[in-house]
A and B are shown apart, each in its own frame.
Chain A
Amino acid sequence: MSKQSRLKHYGLAVIVCAVAVGLGGPLDAPSSCFLLAVMASSLFGGTRPGFLAVGLSGIAFNFLFLPSPLSLSSPSSHYLRFGVFVVTALATIQLVETKKRNEESRRRIEEDLSSTQRRLSRATQIATVAELAASIAHEVSQPLSAVVANGRACIQWLSAEPADLVNAKVAAERIIRDGKAAGEVVRHMRALFKKTALERIALNVNEVIEEVLSLIHNETVRKQIAVETDLEKRLPTTLGDRVQLQQVVFNLLLNGIEAMETVIDRPKKLIIRSKMQSSDAILVEIRDYGNGVADSNRIFEAFYTTKEKGMGMGLSVCRSIVEAHGGHLGISPSQGSGTTFFFSLPLGTSQLE
């Protein structure tokens, strides 16, 4: 809290107490007015302004509203009256404080809940992608198995003495049929990925980046990677699929983290930058200080991987997502070690498919 706003809160306490002094007499209800003042001070100003209000009220009550200011000779009923007033005022502050604390904790729980839900939906999505990949693999491997077996059979029939041309022809025709079937699966898969790219809402790319960063925060802390952001504050909104763009950022960041897995001789650092590329496009850059990329042309190909356990799908999926948004994903030369990936997103809707 700034000094200025703290002063404001104390000022508030002074003003409401003054109002209570002014109204207490004419209304003939000084204690109620002072209690209201204490309540307002602690509710809007905080606990300390609340205490200030109690003090001020106490003094005013003592001097203005008791038949005579308290002294050693005052009757005990005056002391009692004053004591009851102070205790009630303090209890009021306590109640307001408790109420505020409850609200705060409820808000925090709600926040936690919604972030957990976000993570869960992300996890489900990843699981769905894995399932999808398994089912596609199965759909393609059936006709491929048949193609291989038919191909071998065809050779066998042809190399028999005498060659069995009828059976060889049957086998060759089956190869064509099953090859086409496998091609059909691939076409369906493309259509599927295109269809999921349809949800487009106005979004701020910085938010997308920050959501993903919060998601991998633990990972970066655990691996002692420093994350630096340089996000353009006045970034205009763009139309896009939030989840898919998160996937792109997520993938690029994970790549960066993995690229620095074995780095020991220099600090591990990820830099994420957003800026205007031109008047009608946003540019996001993600730079790591890993070991760099050997073949920057091939890394975007599907199934090309440099990782022991990788599928080689990450970057090619990223590129197709960015391109479906009318943008471009690429790699730019880094100064020193590491790799810089960038992607652009157009602002206008005209280029969206």
Chain B
Amino acid sequence: MSKDNPIVYVLDDDYRVREALTGLLSSVGFRVEVFASAAEYLKFKKPDSPACLILDLQLPGMSGLDLQREIAGSDAPAIVFVTGHGDVPSSVRAMKAGAVEFLLKPFDDQELLRAIEAAIAQDREARLKRTEMAELQRRYALLTPREREVLPFVVAGLLNKQTAAELGNSEITIQVHRGQIMRKMAASSLADLVKMAGKLGIS
């Protein structure tokens, strides 16, 4: 198993399925946390590691699809749906909302393990992106309002002289701002800065 110690959340209202999946997943080396309802899952304080959620479609209270919608957009783990009633509309909705896999019970163990691996890989990548993004945003927050005004001109490839004319500053002031931006954003080159600005949605 990978060194970042991935965790599998199992959300199923049938204790037999929870028990069996705990057994199966821990036998192949995953950390497992099981929940009987969406509320229990939402309450749980999740550790900072790659994860995947095995989600039953039919749950008492909030359904699997409802929970998927509820946690979408946040740092929710990748979801593998399992269901005893395979109806096409729900599976389409689940996949459209970004589920990794939609498995019918009784599921094939190998298929489930493959789906979990895929989901964890996807989550690992998403987490990496999120960390990178958070770091960029942290650096961007260090810039002064004036430096944030200058940044678009710099990444657009304008010379200091041109930027100065645009903003009504002296060329030397712009040069100082530019130096500060490169330092605060920890950019090794202009190309690097342009890439970062692209990720932050600045052009």
Decide if B24 touches A156 in the complex (CB within 8 Å): yes
Decide if A144 touches B109 in the complex (CB within 8 Å): no
Decide if B109 touches A151 in the complex (CB within 8 Å): yes
Q: How far is the CB of B101 from chain A (nearest CB, A)?
A: 15
The answer for the CA separation of A136 and B26 in the assembled complex, in Å, is: 30
- Tell me if A142 counts as interface (CB < 8 A to partner B): yes
- Tell me if B188 counts as interface (CB < 8 A to partner A): no
- Tell me if B146 counts as interface (CB < 8 A to partner A): no
Interface residues, chain B, CB within 8 Å of chain A?
Answer: 14, 16-17, 19-21, 23-24, 26-28, 82, 84-85, 104-110, 112
- The interface residues of chain A lying within 8 Å CB-to-CB of B104 are 141
Tell me the residues in window 266-308 of chain A with beta carbons closer than 8 Å to chain B beta carbons.
Answer: none
Interface residues, chain A, CB within 8 Å of chain B?
Answer: 134, 137-138, 140-153, 156-157, 160, 164, 167, 170-171, 174, 177-178, 181
Decide if B16 touches A174 in the complex (CB within 8 Å): yes
Decide if A153 touches B16 in the complex (CB within 8 Å): no
Q: Which of B17, B23, B106 contacts A171 (CB 8 A)?
A: B23
Decide if A174 touches B84 in the complex (CB within 8 Å): no
**Residue of B19, B104, B106, B112 with most chain A CB atoms under a 10 A cut-off:** B106
**Residue of A134, A138, A153, A181 with most chain B CB atoms under a 10 A cut-off:** A153
Beyond A137-B84, A153-B20, A174-B19, whether A145 also contacts B105 by CB under 8 A is yes
Decide if B109 touches A142 in the complex (CB within 8 Å): no
The answer for the CA separation of A137 and B21 in the assembled complex, in Å, is: 20
Beyond A153-B24, A170-B23, whether A141 also contacts B16 by CB under 8 A is no
The answer for the CA separation of A140 and B110 in the assembled complex, in Å, is: 20
The answer for the CA separation of A167 and B25 in the assembled complex, in Å, is: 12
Q: How far is the CB of A13 from chain B (nearest CB, A)?
A: 69
Decide if B109 touches A141 in the complex (CB within 8 Å): no
Decide if B106 touches A144 in the complex (CB within 8 Å): yes
A-B contact pairs, 15 of them (CB 8 A): A137-B85, A138-B84, A138-B85, A140-B106, A141-B104, A144-B105, A148-B20, A149-B20, A149-B21, A149-B109, A150-B19, A150-B20, A151-B109, A152-B110, A171-B20
Decide if A143 touches B16 in the complex (CB within 8 Å): yes
- The interface residues of chain A lying within 8 Å CB-to-CB of B84 are 137-138, 141-142
Decide if A153 touches B23 in the complex (CB within 8 Å): yes
- The interface residues of chain A lying within 8 Å CB-to-CB of B16 are 142-143, 146, 174, 177-178, 181
- The interface residues of chain B lying within 8 Å CB-to-CB of A151 are 109
- The interface residues of chain B lying within 8 Å CB-to-CB of A177 are 16
Known: A142-B14, A149-B21, A150-B20. 4 other contacts (CB 8 A): A141-B106, A152-B110, A171-B20, A171-B27
CB nearest to A138 among chain B residues: B84
- The interface residues of chain B lying within 8 Å CB-to-CB of A140 are 106
Q: How far is the CB of B91 from chain A (nearest CB, A)?
A: 15
Q: How far is the CB of A96 from chain B (nearest CB, A)?
A: 60
- The interface residues of chain B lying within 8 Å CB-to-CB of A171 are 20, 23, 27
CB nearest to B15 among chain A residues: A146
Q: How far is the CB of B26 from chain A (nearest CB, A)?
A: 8
Decide if B17 touches A142 in the complex (CB within 8 Å): yes
The answer for the CA separation of A160 and B26 in the assembled complex, in Å, is: 12
- The interface residues of chain A lying within 8 Å CB-to-CB of B28 are 156
Beyond A152-B109, A156-B28, whether A145 also contacts B85 by CB under 8 A is no
Q: Which of B19, B27, B109 contacts A148 (CB 8 A)?
A: B109
- The interface residues of chain B lying within 8 Å CB-to-CB of A144 are 105-106
The answer for the CA separation of A144 and B20 in the assembled complex, in Å, is: 10
The answer for the CA separation of A140 and B85 in the assembled complex, in Å, is: 11
- The interface residues of chain A lying within 8 Å CB-to-CB of B19 are 146, 150, 174
- The interface residues of chain B lying within 8 Å CB-to-CB of A181 are 16
The answer for the CA separation of A170 and B112 in the assembled complex, in Å, is: 21
Q: How far is the CB of B103 from chain A (nearest CB, A)?
A: 9
- The interface residues of chain A lying within 8 Å CB-to-CB of B14 are 142, 146
Decide if B20 touches A145 in the complex (CB within 8 Å): yes
Decide if A149 touches B105 in the complex (CB within 8 Å): no
